[in-house]
Structure 1
Amino acid sequence: MTTQPLPTYFVSHGGGPWPYMDGEFRRRFDELEGSLVRMRAELDNMPKAVLVVSGHWEKEAFTLSSAARPGMEYDYYGFPPHLYEIAYRSPGSPALAERAAGLLAARGLPTDLDPQRGFDHGTFSIMKPLYPEEDVPLVQVSLHASFDPALHIAAGKALAPLRDEGVLIIGSGLSYHNLQAMQTGAGHEPSRQFDAWLRETVLDTPPHERERRLVQWTGAPSARAVHPREDHLLPLMVVAGAAGTEPASLSYHQSDFFGGLSVSSFRFGEPPLEGNNL
Structure 2
Amino acid sequence: MSQTSATLPAFYIPHGGGPCFFMADPAGVWTGMADFLRSLPERLPEAPRAILVVSGHWETDGFAFTGAERPGLIYDYYGFPAHTYEIAYPAPGAPALASQAAALLHAAGLKAGVDAQRGWDHGVFIPLAVAWPEANVPVVEMSLDRSLDPALHAAAGRALAPLRDQGVLILGSGMSFHNMRAYRNPQATAPSQVFDAWLGEAIAQPPLQREDSLSRWADAPNGRFSHPREEHLLPLMVAAAASEAQGEPVYGELVMETAISGYQFA
| Counterparts of 1:169 and 1:268, CA distance in 2 | 10
Match of 1:20 in 2: 22
1:247 aligned onto 2:246: yes
Q: After the TM superposition, which of the residue ranges 184-193 and 124-133 deviates more from structure 2?
A: 184-193
Return closer, same or farther for 1:236/1:58 CA change in 2, 3 Å cut-off: same
| Counterparts of 1:24 and 1:229, CA distance in 2 | 31
Match of 2:43 in 1: 42
Structure 2 counterparts to residues 5-84 of structure 1, below 5 A? 5-24=7-26, 27-84=28-85
Report SS of the residue matched to 2:259.
strand
Report SS of the residue matched to 1:182.
coil
Instruction: Pick the aligned partner of 1:257 from 244, 255, 258.
Output: 255
- For these two proteins, the number of residue pairs brought into alignment is 264
| Counterparts of 1:185 and 1:75, CA distance in 2 | 28
The one-letter code matched in structure 1 to 2:251 is Y
Structure 2 counterparts to residues 137-152 of structure 1, below 5 A? 137-152=138-153
What's the % identity of the aligned pairs? 48
RMSD: 1.5
Report the TM-score when normalising by structure 1.
0.91
Displacement of 1:186 after TM fit?
4.2
Are 2:184 and 2:258, in contact at CA under 8 Å, matched by a contact in 1? no
Q: After the TM superposition, which of the residue ranges 155-164 and 78-87 deviates more from structure 2?
A: 78-87
| Counterparts of 2:51 and 2:161, CA distance in 1 | 13
Structure 2 counterparts to residues 109-258 of structure 1, below 5 A? 109-203=110-204, 205-243=205-243, 245-254=244-253, 256-258=254-256
Unpaired stretches in structure 2, ≥5 consecutive residues: none
| Counterparts of 2:110 and 2:245, CA distance in 1 | 23
List per-residue Cα deviations over 1:196-249 (Å, max 9, x = no partner): 10011112x233211110011111001111100000000000011111x21221
Displacement of 1:195 after TM fit?
0.3
Are 1:70 and 1:117, in contact at CA under 8 Å, matched by a contact in 2? yes
Are 1:19 and 1:128, in contact at CA under 8 Å, matched by a contact in 2? no
Displacement of 1:252 after TM fit?
0.3
- Structure with greater helix share of residues: 1
Report the TM-score when normalising by structure 2.
0.95
Displacement of 1:139 after TM fit?
0.3
Unpaired stretches in structure 1, ≥5 consecutive residues: 270-278
Displacement of 1:95 after TM fit?
0.6
